[in-house]
Amino acid sequence: TEPCPAVRPLSFSPRSRPPALQQPPGPGAVLPSPGPFPLSRAAGDGLLSEPLGHPDFFNVKELFSMKDLFSARVHLGHKKGCRHRFMEPYIFGCRLDQDIIDLDQTMDHLQLALNFTAHIAYRKGIILFVSRNRQFCHLVESTARECGEYAHTRYWQGGLLTNAHIQFGAGVRLPDLIIFLSSLNNVFEPHVAIRDAAKMNIPTVGVVDTNCNPCLITYPIPGNDDSPTAMELYCKLFKMTIIRAKDYRKQREVFHKLQSKEEGGCARPACASRGCRAP
C-alpha cells in the first residue's frame, strides 16, 4: 500500500478536515515520493507478497511431529484446581485430576504460530522473546542470541512498551512480534507484556499452559511450559523457523538484485519507486 500523506492533528468537525484526507488515494494513483526508496521497497511487490501465496510457505510442518510433542511431554497440564476457564476448549481430558492438553489442536496452533513468526522474520521484523520462568531464562536468552533476535527474561518495568519514547528516547522502534515462552510471571499472574502488547497493537505468540489466560494472545499455543524438554523443543522450533526465514530472505534479495540488473531497468531510483519498468 502507498504511504499515507502527512497527517495533521484530527479535529472532529467535517469542515475543518484537511483536503488531503477527504479523498483517499486510489490503487493506481502515483504519489510524490519523499526521496529515493531502498531496494526492498522498489522490488516490493514480488519480494513481500511471494510468501503469502501459500498457507505454509516456509514448510514449518516438517519441523515437528506428534511423537516429538508427546515425548517432550507437551501434553501434560496442571491439576484440575489450577485450570483456567478459557483453556477448557484446548484440554483433551482430565486423568486422575491432571489435565491433558489436546495435541491435535496443539499441532494446528503451533503450525500457525511458527508460520506467522517465519513471515515476520522474513519481513525483517523485530522479535522479542519474553519468559519470566527463572529455570529457563538462560535457555531463552541464548536462543534469542543465536537467531539474532531479542529477549527480555528479567523484571518487566511498567512503561517498557507503553512509555518507550520517554524511557528509550524518541524514534525507538518497538518489537513487531513478542513470543511468550511462559505467559505467567513469578506470582502466577498474566505477564504485563501481554496486556501492553495488545495496547500497542503488537501481535503476540505465546505458549499457554492450563492455568494461563489465552484471550489476548494473538496466536496461542496450548502446551506445557514447565518441563525442560518441552521448553527446549519450543526454543529449538522458534530458532529454526527464524533462521530459515532470514536465510530465505537473503536469497530472495540477492535474486531480485541480480534480476533487476539483468533486466537493465531504469537505474534511476526516483523512477524505480514509481514502478516504472522502462527498458
Q: Residue numbers of the site for other proteins (CB under 8 A)?
A: 1, 3-4, 7, 10, 21, 24, 48-49, 52, 55, 71, 83-86, 88-89, 91-95, 99-100, 108-109, 112, 115-116, 119-120, 123, 125, 162, 176-177, 195, 198-203, 213, 215-220
* 94 vs 271, beta carbon nearer other proteins: 94
List CB contacts of 184: < 8 A, sequence separation 6 or more.
Answer: 132, 190, 191, 209, 211, 212
* 21 vs 270, beta carbon nearer other proteins: 21
Edge-to-edge order in the sheet of strand 219-222? 150-152, 127-131, 177-182, 204-208, 219-222
Q: Min. distance of Cβ 94 from other proteins in angstroms?
A: 5
List CB contacts of 228: < 8 A, sequence separation 6 or more.
Answer: 135, 136
* 153 vs 217, beta carbon nearer other proteins: 217
Q: Min. distance of Cβ 268 from other proteins in angstroms?
A: 25
Nearest residue to 121 (alpha-carbon basis) of 248, 262, 207, 236: 248
Nearest residue to 3 (alpha-carbon basis) of 14, 17, 29: 29
CB 132 within 8 A of CB 156: yes
Q: Min. distance of Cβ 272 from other proteins in angstroms?
A: 21
Q: Which residue has the cell 513469578?
A: 186
Q: Min. distance of Cβ 117 from other proteins in angstroms?
A: 10
**What is the C-alpha to C-alpha distance for residues 50 and 65, in angstroms, rounded to an integer?**
27
Output the CA–CA distances (angstroms, integers) from residue 82 to 64, 78, 94, 172, 184, in the order listed. 28, 6, 12, 39, 13
* 153 vs 161, beta carbon nearer other proteins: 161
Q: Min. distance of Cβ 78 from other proteins in angstroms?
A: 12
The one-character DSSP state at 160 is T
* 48 vs 137, beta carbon nearer other proteins: 48
Sign of the dihedral defined by the CA atoms of residues 16, 18, 24, 28, in that order: positive
CB 58 within 8 A of CB 216: no
* 45 vs 263, beta carbon nearer other proteins: 45
Q: Min. distance of Cβ 220 from other proteins in angstroms?
A: 8
* 139 vs 208, beta carbon nearer other proteins: 208
Q: Min. distance of Cβ 95 from other proteins in angstroms?
A: 4
